[in-house]
Amino acid sequence: QVQLVESGGGLVQPGGSLRLSCTPSVSIVTFNPMAWYRQAPGSQRELVASMINGDSTNYADSVRGRFTISRDNARNTLDLHMASLKPEDTAVYYCNGIRSNGRMRNTYWGQGTQVTVSS
């Protein structure tokens, strides 16, 4: 079974920073693309940041310049570095990855990790 496990969430004050990590049960280089999503209470899930081919990145307008998505092959993790956090960043953050097998494209989701930005 392929699994993604997120970690690093918690309570942080506005203006603070957090690093989220996503650790798959198989080699991270077998996923393409990968992404971080988030879902706030009462809101739809939204794409936060994505990575294609291990280096090309895209960001939602709301986080561009504050968040950084990166892949660490040595640690076998996909990381989301979050800085200058705002209360509106409060959400459950999910790791997402796609693995291809011939014609098949399978998508995988982590269980989510809670990020709360509050004073």
Q: What does each C-alpha distance from 13 to 78, 82, 92 come to in angstroms?
A: 24, 12, 16
pLDDT of residue 66: 98
> What pLDDT is stored for residue 92 in this prediction?
98
- Tell me which residues of the chain have a pLDDT lower than 70: none
pLDDT at 104: 94
* Res 46: pLDDT: 98
Closest CA to 48 of 7, 92, 14: 92
